Structure formats: structure tokens, C-alpha cells
């Protein structure tokens, strides 16, 4: 109806024949909108909103102009009162604040983000949230960021590169102000996205010359574990690790161990490295594999604590006591490592500090641009009761 009416109108006024009549159109839009006002999407919904837990409609959230009206000032003044109170007179400020309080005003971060270009959120992409390591890192990160008024968006990839690309794209689309990622290896597509992101990126655990990074020396962690066992006299050492082809942290740890062993003339052949999922079950499975070899090792390095603890469990089940029958050393120093029986020797990685430092790095870089910077955090051997000298 409305449509044919307006096409009739078009004929009558013969407007269709004119070009460059944008102003004219605008005028008509003005009138039309006013006429259709109450029925147009925006006008109609503008002051009402459906309540999600009762199907009733309520008044919408209050905006800057509601507060302005209530306080009898302009919207701009309210905005300034909110963000730069030193610019408004004390009496006005008080009036605005009490109005805001009264109306339960909550600033609209979305609009704010649009105009300022800052969303006050950073995104973190980790392989999985369901891991003590990443959980601890994210906890530290979130806590540091929130002190600076930033919120943390999280995504997990399940160690899948395509999921990572999707997550990056999603975060970029949401306009995050910074990005945290684990490891330095990723698909070409992901790298391209990051390089063109124009958003600070900080990597965790491993470094890439293109980005900021908070790292630990994974190679050294492996080396330290190996050296400890060598020092105890072990010469037949096995390792249970994650999938080295897709996990640069695990790969470097294996390489570090291998290189150190080699210094002592001890080989770490493929068949003494069992690649397993990074779970307790994986640790047990890896242990079973290694122990079923012709010459089972006298000591085992876990690529992380979870693998090492799984390994200890399996050994105990097989009736092999730790450390008398076999020494086990882990990497990470989870809280758990100190509380298993026997308390586990492991390489301490400052997991929480990685998150904290990554947050600080992001915060710094958001404030001042500059060349990429790597912060390397120290790793350290923690000797407990799961390792002992080789009994001859």
C-alpha cells in the first residue's frame, strides 16, 4: 500500500526525472520519517525493551541524554562529567553524578569504543582453557588487565591452527586493543592477519622477532631436566612429550634434553621419546610404551608435569616405586607437583608471571608503539623426591 502510494506520488510530482536531487530526497526523508516515526524500527523500540526473564517490556537502559535531561545540562557535559570530571564545575558535576546514580546509568562502551577506537578489551587465544598452565596464565593476565580497566576475551584452539585463525579474526572484528597468543608457530594465514592487525600482539612461551613476547627458555628447561638426571648417573633416559610437530614448546624441550644428553655422549633416539596427548592418561600411556622397550630407561623426563605425574601413577601401578625403581622429572612446577607422592622434581616455569608480564607488555605497547621486545623469564630446577642417583 505504502509502496504503490509513493510510486503514484512519484509520478504526480514527476520527481523521478531529475538527477542530483539528493537534498530533495533528504527533505522528503525528513518528512517521511517524521510521519512514519512511531512505526519505524528505531522509534518503535527506542524506549522499550523486552525483559528476558519475564516477557514484560521495561524501559530501556538510560543513556547519556537521559542523564543530561534529568540533570538539566547538555549531553556533552554529562559525557565530560563521566570521563574528565576536572572539566566541569563542581556543582554541575555533583548534579550530574546524582542523576546518573538515580537513573542507574552505565556508560555505553560500544559507542565509546566506536568513537575512541579503543574497546578496552584484549583477546587471549590459548590451546585450551582446561589446563592448569594456561588457566593460571590467564588468571594472572586477567587480574593484571582488570586493574588497568581492561577486560579479557578468551578463545581456545584445541591445538588447531584453523581455529586459531578464526579466533584471531573474531577478536580483530570485535576491535580488541591487544592480542595474546601462545607459541610462535602458526599458519601462514594467521601470521598475515597478525602482521596487518595494527594491534599490539604479545606471544607467550616462545618468541617471534615480529612481535613482543614473554618467553621461557624451553630448550633450557629440557636441558636442565636432562642434566639433573645425568648428574645422578642416569645414562638411559626416556622422555614423554606432546606432539612436537605442532607444539614448539614441547619440541624445544625435547631438543634441549637431547642436546644435553649428547654432550654426555648419551643419545635420545626416537624410540625413547613417546609423543602423547598432554593429559594424565597420555603420561600413563607414554610410560607404558617406554617401559615395554627392550632396555627400559632408568629415568624419564615428562614434557610437562601432567605427563610426568601420569607417568608416576603408571609406574606405581606397575609396581615400580619412584624414585627407587625409576626417577621421574617434570617441567612446569604445577602446584600439584609438590603434593603428589612422592613430591615431584621438576623444572619451575613462572607460569603466572608469563600472564602477568604479557598483560604488562600489552599495556605498555598500547601506550607507546615501538620495536618488538622479548622478555625472557628464568627457569629453574626444583629438586624433590621423585629422582635419586642411579642404583647400580
Partner DNA sequence: GAAGCTTATGAAAGCGTTTGCAGTAAATTC
Partner DNA sequence: GAATTTACTGCAAACGCTTTCATAAGCTTC
The site for DNA (CB under 7 A) is made up of 2-4, 6-7, 9-10, 15-16, 22-23, 25-26, 28-30, 32-33, 36, 39-43, 46, 60, 63-65, 72-77, 79-80, 82-84, 86-93, 107-108, 110-112, 114-117
How far apart, in whole angstroms, are the C-alpha atoms of residue 302 and residue 109?
A: 46
Per DSSP, helices labelled H in 19-62 are: 22-36, 41-46
The only residue of 160, 170, 264, 374 in contact with a copy of itself, by rule CB under 8 A = 170
With CB under 8 A as the contact rule, which of the stretches 22-30, 92-100, 259-267, 361-369 interacts with a copy of itself?
A: 361-369
Nearer to a copy of itself (CB atom), residue 3 or residue 52: 52
- The distance of closest approach from Cβ of residue 199 to a copy of itself in the complex, given in angstroms and rounded to an integer, is 7
How far apart, in whole angstroms, are the C-alpha atoms of residue 387 and residue 327?
A: 4
- Choose the one of DNA, a copy of itself, none that binds residue 73, judging by a C-beta under 5 to 8 angstroms depending on kind: DNA
Nearer to DNA (CB atom), residue 75 or residue 280: 75
φ/ψ of 278, rounded to 5, equals: -80, 65
Q: Tell me the three cell numbers of residue 132.
A: 592448569
- The distance of closest approach from Cβ of residue 319 to a copy of itself in the complex, given in angstroms and rounded to an integer, is 12
CB 77 within 8 A of CB 93: no
- Choose the one of DNA, a copy of itself, none that binds residue 23, judging by a C-beta under 5 to 8 angstroms depending on kind: DNA
- The distance of closest approach from Cβ of residue 81 to a copy of itself in the complex, given in angstroms and rounded to an integer, is 16
DSSP code per residue over 137-195: HHHHHHHHHHHTT-EEEEEE-TT-HHHHHHHHHHHHHTT-SEEEEESS---HHHHHHHH
What's the order of all strands across the beta sheet hosting 273-275? 273-275, 237-241, 299-302, 327-332, 345-348, 380-382
Nearer to DNA (CB atom), residue 174 or residue 385: 174
The only residue of 75, 148, 155, 259 in contact with a copy of itself, by rule CB under 8 A = 155
How far apart, in whole angstroms, are the C-alpha atoms of residue 218 and residue 263?
A: 18
43 touches a copy of itself by CB under 8 A? no
How far apart, in whole angstroms, are the C-alpha atoms of residue 96 and residue 32?
A: 36
- Choose the one of DNA, a copy of itself, none that binds residue 265, judging by a C-beta under 5 to 8 angstroms depending on kind: none
- Choose the one of a copy of itself, DNA, none that binds residue 87, judging by a C-beta under 5 to 8 angstroms depending on kind: DNA
The DSSP element (H or E) to which 96 belongs, if any, is: helix 90-103
The only residue of 30, 37, 72, 107 in contact with a copy of itself, by rule CB under 8 A = 107
Q: Tell me the three cell numbers of residue 277.
A: 596427548
Instruction: Provide the sign of the torsion angle of the four alpha carbons 54, 55, 57, 59, taken in this order.
Output: positive
CB atoms within 10 A of CB 184: 19
Nearer to a copy of itself (CB atom), residue 213 or residue 272: 213
53 touches a copy of itself by CB under 8 A? yes
296 touches a copy of itself by CB under 8 A? no
- The distance of closest approach from Cβ of residue 145 to a copy of itself in the complex, given in angstroms and rounded to an integer, is 10
Question: Contacts with a copy of itself in 118-137 (CB under 8 A)?
Answer: 119-121, 128-132, 135-136
- Choose the one of a copy of itself, DNA, none that binds residue 154, judging by a C-beta under 5 to 8 angstroms depending on kind: a copy of itself
CB 273 within 8 A of CB 254: yes
- Choose the one of a copy of itself, DNA, none that binds residue 84, judging by a C-beta under 5 to 8 angstroms depending on kind: DNA
Amino acid at each position: 500500500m505504502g509502496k504503490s502510494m509513493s510510486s503514484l506520488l512519484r509520478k504526480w510530482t514527476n520527481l523521478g526525472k531529475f538527477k542530483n536531487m539528493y537534498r530533495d530526497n533528504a527533505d522528503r526523508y525528513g518528512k517521511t520519517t517524521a510521519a512514519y516515526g512511531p512505526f519505524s524500527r528505531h522509534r518503535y523500540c527506542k524506549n522499550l525493551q523486552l525483559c528476558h526473564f519475564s516477557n514484560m517490556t521495561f524501559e530501556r537502559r538510560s543513556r547519556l541524554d537521559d542523564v543530561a535531561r534529568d540533570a538539566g545540562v547538555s549531553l556533552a557535559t554529562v559525557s565530560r562529567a563521566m570521563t574528565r570530571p576536572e572539566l566541569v564545575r563542581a556543582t554541575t558535576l555533583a548534579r550530574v553524578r546524582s542523576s546518573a546514580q538515580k537513573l542507574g546509568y552505565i556508560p555505553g562502551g560500544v559507542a565509546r569504543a566506536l568513537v575512541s577506537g579503543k574497546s578496552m578489551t584484549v583477546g587471549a587465544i590459548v590451546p585450551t582453557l582446561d589446563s592448569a598452565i594456561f588457566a593460571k596464565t590467564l588468571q594472572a593476565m586477567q587480574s593484571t588487565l582488570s586493574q588497568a580497566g581492561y577486560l579479557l576475551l578468551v578463545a581456545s584452539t584445541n591445538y588447531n591452527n584453523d581455529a586459531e585463525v578464526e579466533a584471531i579474526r573474531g577478536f580483530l572484528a570485535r576491535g580488541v586493543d591487544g592480542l595474546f597468543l601462545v607459541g610462535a608457530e602458526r599458519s601462514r594465514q594467521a601470521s598475515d592477519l597478525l602482521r596487518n592487525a595494527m594491534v599490539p600482539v604479545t606471544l607467550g612461551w616462545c618468541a617471534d622477532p615480529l612481535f613482543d613476547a614473554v618467553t621461557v627458555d624451553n630448550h633450557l628447561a629440557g636441558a636442565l631436566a636432562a642434566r639433573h638426571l645425568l648428574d645422578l648417573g642416569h645414562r638411559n633416559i626416556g622422555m614423554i612429550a606432546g606432539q612436537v610437530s605442532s607444539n614448539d614448546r614441547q619440541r624445544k624441550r625435547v631438543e634441549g634434553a637431547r642436546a644435553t644428553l649428547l654432550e654426555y655422549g648419551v643419545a635420545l633416539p626416537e624410540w625413547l621419546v613417546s609423543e602423547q596427548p598432554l593429559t594424565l592418561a597420555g603420561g600413563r600411556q607414554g610410560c607404558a610404551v617406554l617401559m615395554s622397550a627392550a632396555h627400559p630407561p632408568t629415568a624419564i623426563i615428562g614434557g610437562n608435569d601432567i605427563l610426568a605425574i601420569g607417568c608416576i601413577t603408571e609406574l606405581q601401578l606397575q609396581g615400580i616405586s619412584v624414585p627407587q625403581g625409576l626417577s621421574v622429572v617434570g617441567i612446569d612446577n604445577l602446584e600439584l607437583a609438590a603434593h603428589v607422592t612422592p613430591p615431584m622434581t621438576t623444572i619451575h616455569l613462572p607460569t603466572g608471571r608469563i600472564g602477568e608480564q604479557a598483560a604488562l607488555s600489552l599495556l605498555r605497547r598500547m601506550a607507546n608503539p615501538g620495536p618488538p621486545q622479548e622478555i625472557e623469564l628464568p627457569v629453574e630446577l626444583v629438586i624433590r623426591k621423585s629422582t635419586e642417583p642411579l642404583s647400580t
